[in-house]
Amino acid sequence: MTDQSIQTLSHVYPIGSHVDERGHLLIGGCDAVELAAQFGTPAYIVAEDDLRARARAYVGGLSALYDDCDVLFASKAFPCTAVYRVLAEEGLSCDVASGGELALALRGGFDPARVYLHGNAKSLDEMRFALESGVGHIVLDSLHDVERLEAVAAELGVTQEVLIRVTPDVSGETHAAISTGQANSKFGFGLADAPEAIDRIAESERLRLVGLHCHIGSQLLALEPFTRAVAALAALGDFDVYNFGGGLGVAYQQTQEPPSIADYVTTLVGAAKAAVGPGKRLLIEPGRSLVANSTVTLYTVETVKRNVSTWVAVDGGMSDNLRPMLYGSKYEVAIASRMSGFDPARQPNYELCQLAGKHCESGDVIARDVLLDDPQPGEIVVTPATGAYGYAMSNNYNGVPRAPVVFCKDGNARVVVRRETYDDLSSRDVE
Ligand SMILES: Cc1ncc(COP(=O)(O)O)c(C=O)c1O
């Protein structure tokens, strides 16, 4: 294999992805077409080295700039035991937003002392589970949350360290559904209400307030709103811990150039050093930017139909990737055995296509207006950047079994979540 026969792919694909001399896509050294044959489609294919590289960029980048700091994996983005395990191995802490995510984080090997429980509607059972598990910190979201946690802590005879979530009235440019920093948000205490919560917890015998948290939104492609959020939090008083949440955006399409992890961390640390005094503990909790580009989804083309548009219908859709339906999110598409531009001798026949899912909703279109070169039934198509909020939001609509997760590294593939079976679909039935 000569150097010219291998193409490195754009930043949308996992780090280390290649196109080989036959024009096949390789993820983590594994041929995507062979992966599809071996594990079936749809399938989430994760490049383990990519996950680890981004984790190291976060942990190394933050700790190089700030002494007392920690990176929390916002595990809602990819709550799969194997992902928790890799990120625990890489030295991250963990953000969980429910009892279920907490159970998975513990199963994935996270030290409970390094887990932070979030949620605007934590149940009493979730609180008990967290306290009994020895979760290090709970992030409180409302006065009822304060009252209820205090009662559970008293019932169990423990004292719990907490942060409060503040809504800093800062919003970045993103989809309304994932914008959380604006004053009219279901999350957190507004700037005017935070002092009451701070005073209330100061009186508590069961809760110890160590700091403040904010998370202004997700898929943010500009850094300036983060700086404003840091300043807003700092103005609320002097605390030991500041958690500035997640939110850094990623590239779903080649034309998108989000800030790098290094630039993001540098900006946050600069803002923190300017706004809060020395000797503080600084936390961030990225989700999407840790995991999104680590993963591609493989599908098989089932049918191609031409009417007003060309509909290329595949064997998955809104059951494995809800984001196009929820947010109108856009994805790139390629044919995994004929990656574009690999063979200059071939005359391509590109056509504007709609990559349609298999579900019974007209809106179930994975990617609109994508150029594909004469796709045929049986061919494998790939959508990159599906690691965040794909598996996490997967579902069984139309009785479609959920897709497996396959980790690839150095040319070896291993299934870390198996495909669901038809029996799984009725496994909770009680007859
Ligand atoms: C409290 C909190 N922290 C962190 C995150 C992770 O955000 P992102 O995936 O954009 O990094 C979220 C996402 O919704 C969140 O709600």
Checking if the pLDDT of 350 tops 80, the result is yes
- Quick check: is 78 in a domain? no
270 and 184, same structural domain? yes
- The enclosing domain of 413 has a CATH number of 2.40.37.10
Tens digit of each residue's pLDDT (9 = 90 or more) over 224-271: 999 999 999 999 999 999 999 999 999 999 999 999 999 999 999 999
The predicted-structure confidence for 128-173, as pLDDT tens digits, reads as follows 999 999 999 999 999 999 999 999 999 999 999 999 999 998 888 8
**Cα distances (Å, whole numbers) of residue 33 to 38, 140, 403:** 9, 47, 16
**Is residue 199 assigned to a domain?**
yes
- Write down which residue in 244, 259, 286 finishes a domain: 286
Between residues 177 and 394, the one the model is more confident about: 394
Mean pLDDT value across residues 64-88:
98
**Mutation to probe ligand 1, out of 145, 166, 285 (largest number of atoms < 8 A from CB):** 285
Mean local confidence (pLDDT), 81-104: 98
Q: Classify residue 107: in a domain, yes or no.
A: no
Tell me, yes or no, whether 282 and 308 share the same domain: no
192 and 247: one domain? yes
Q: Whose CA is closest to atom 12 on ligand 1?
A: 246
Q: Are residues 282 and 141 in the same domain?
A: yes
Is the pLDDT assigned to residue 348 strictly greater than 50? yes
**Shared-domain flag, residues 392 and 248:** no
CB-based burial of residue 303 (10 Å sphere; 0-12 exposed, 13-18 middle, 19+ buried)?
exposed
pLDDT exceeds cutoff 90 at 343: no
Binning pLDDT at 50, 70 and 90, where does residue 312 land?
A: very high
* Domain identity same for 318 and 267: no
Mean pLDDT of 217-229: 95
From the list 118, 122, 114, the residue with the least C-alpha distance to 94 is 114
- 278 and 255 together in one domain: yes
Q: Is residue 183 part of a domain?
A: yes
The enclosing domain of 131 has a CATH number of 3.20.20.10
pLDDT in tens, 168-210: 988 888 888 888 888 888 999 999 999 999 999 999 999 999 9
Domain membership flag for residue 55 = no
Residue 331 lies in a domain: yes
Domain ranges, residue 359: 3-47+293-425
pLDDT tens string 396-405: 999 999 999 9
| Average pLDDT over every residue of 314-333 | 97
Reduced to 3 states (helix: H, G, I; strand: E, B; else coil), residue 84 is helix
- Pocket test of ligand 1: the residue of 215, 219, 268 to mutate, having most ligand atoms within 8 Å of its CB, is 215
Looking at 286, 303, 335, the residue that finishes a domain is: 286
In a shared domain, residues 302 and 417 = yes
Give yes or no: residues 277 and 148 share one domain. Answer: yes
Instruction: Tell me which of 233, 254, 286 is where a domain ends.
Output: 286
What is the distance of C-alpha 279 from the center of its chain? 30
Ligand 1 centre and the CA of 148: distance in Å?
Answer: 24
- pLDDT at position 176, please? 82
What total of structural domains would you count in the chain?
2
pTM over 0.85: yes
State whether 281 and 132 are in the same domain: yes
If you average pLDDT over residues 110-127, what whole number do you get? Answer: 98
> What number is the average pLDDT over the span 364-382?
97
